[in-house]
Amino acid sequence: MVRQWTEFERACVERGWERPSVFLTVFAQAAHMLGEPVTLTARQFRRWCLPDPPRPRPRAWRVLHAMFGINPIELGFPSAAYGEISPCTFLIADMTEETDVNRRAFVTTTVGAAAGAALGSLTPPQTVGIPHLQELRAGLRSLQALGDAHGGSDVRPLAVRHLNRIRRIIETSRYPDSIGRRLRLLAGQTANGCAYLHFDACDQERARHYWGEALTIGTTLDDGELKSQALAMLGLQANYENRPRHARDLLGAARQHAEAIGSPVLLSIIASREARALSLLGDHSTARGEHARAMRLLERPERGRPTPAWATFHDHGELEQAQGMLYSEAGRHRAAVPYFRSSLTHTGASYGRNYAARQVLLAHSLVLAGEVDEGAATAVAGLGHLQEVASGRVRNRMVEVRNALASMDTASAREAVDALTHHLN
């Protein structure tokens, strides 16, 4: 009689990890990336393949969770006591090519085990309490970190799945009114996250849909922070789509809610985007004044209310990029270069998408400022970062750089155009 595969064996076969030597190699790599001091033997692997496998120890559990991207319970392992498994640091979503030796792993940053549980489980809990809220919030934080690191194109399906999970819990689970409000607020925050990921992927209609959902939830709950966030993001989108008058209306409404909240970082974000709208309208003098106000607000971020979690990206590097864009839109490309260069230097390691975007902005300004050789070299160097970033916005900016280089009659420009075209195609 032929023994049927267990869930764990089937998952390994689907990923090409059925041989012990292959699985142990992948496990060791994942443990290293996670910083988990855990090793595995071929004997332990074979025991996991049994119909009634032993429960892995917490460190091994976290590595398995990261490798497969789902809760190990769904692989047939006995469940762990609630709270026994603490969040891990990475989620590895396997994107296997059809070869044993050329395996592409999409390695993401700061994705916790709670995110995997929220994304992987299909059955909502019957009764929702604080621990479930904590897990769902951890899932949202993890997805935000993943988008910051690798861009929105690949992450948005996971975020939508997380939002659908929260929606199902709201509609089918039991909870007191106090928990219900927090669940709805979390749904609005997650909708904002879904919107930004679709915006970054250049799926603007879906982005508008999710920001509209977040704004509706914020209005229903009368939550000023949620409304301010959705309006500020819609203003960002309007600027991106070159609708600066609409952007000013949206950002003015966002500022009204933000002033009641009293967070200087939130107000700085809005002022910076208002400056961009003014610049797009050709009012460069007023735009510079509004940008200066955004900088002053950021000088003392500890004043007023704490910075909302979603707004922690906003720092001096962000404002340096914004200053560079103001100069660039005014046609002062040489003046923009040092600001883009400085913003690149001040980009944190966890913001891979921002680093790639700022490198492309720097390359574009260098080319337009007449520094064609340096601009070409910077653009080609940026291709390495684009191997890890899937962002429609960054890709569109790279197309602009290629087109600018294509108009330059130099050897370095021609070589860069060939390299960029090869990557973009």
Q: What is the pLDDT of residues 161-217, one digit of tens each?
A: 999 999 999 999 899 999 999 999 999 999 999 999 999 999 999 999 999 999 999
Can you give the pLDDT at residue 414? Answer: 96
Element (H, E) at 396: helix 392-406
Based on the fold, state whether residues 292 and 359 are members of the same structural domain. Answer: no
Indicate the range of 115-119, 296-300, 332-336, 409-413 predicted with least confidence: 115-119
Q: What's the structural domain count of the chain?
A: 2
Rounded distance between C-alpha atoms, residue 4 and residue 253, angstroms: 61
Print the domain residue range for 252: 237-308
Which one of 251, 274, 308 terminates a domain? 308
**Residue 274 belongs to some domain of the structure:** yes
Based on the fold, state whether residues 304 and 372 are members of the same structural domain. Answer: no
- Mind listing the pLDDT tens digit for each residue in 216-262? 999 999 999 999 999 999 999 999 999 999 999 999 999 999 999 88
CB atoms within 10 A of CB 78: 11
pLDDT band at 303 (very low <50, low <70, confident <90, very high): confident
Structure tokens at 26: 């992948």
Structure tokens at 220: 């229903």
Element counts in the chain: helices (H) and strands (E): 19, 2
**Residue 35 belongs to some domain of the structure:** no
Q: Please report, to the nearest 10 degrees, the dihedral formed by the alpha carbons of residues 20, 23, 24, 27 taken in order.
A: -160
Based on the fold, state whether residues 362 and 423 are members of the same structural domain. Answer: yes
Residues above pLDDT 70, as percent of the chain: 87
Which one of 282, 308, 334 terminates a domain? 308
Q: Check pLDDT > 80 for residue 106.
A: no
- Residues contacting residue 97 through CB under 8 Å, at least 6 positions apart: 103, 104
CB atoms within 10 A of CB 121: 15
Q: Which amino acid would we find at residue 273?
A: R
Please name which of 167, 155, 92 lies closest in space to residue 391, comparing C-alpha atoms: 155
Which one of 308, 327, 344 terminates a domain? 308
**Residue 50 belongs to some domain of the structure:** no
DSSP string for 262-298: T-HHHHHHHHHHHHHHHHHTT-HHHHHHHHHHHHHHH
Tokens 């191997």 belong to which residue? Answer: 387
Rounded distance between C-alpha atoms, residue 204 and residue 236, angstroms: 12
Question: Which carries the bigger pLDDT value, residue 103 or residue 230?
Answer: 230
Helix axes 130-150, 156-172, angle to 10 degrees: 160
Three-class SS string for 336-347? HHHHHHHHHHCC
Element (H, E) at 159: helix 156-172
Measured distance between the N- and C-terminal CA atoms of the chain, rounded to whole angstroms: 51
Q: Check pLDDT > 60 for residue 99.
A: no
191 and 214 in contact (C-beta within 8 Å)? yes
Rounded distance between C-alpha atoms, residue 113 and residue 88, angstroms: 5
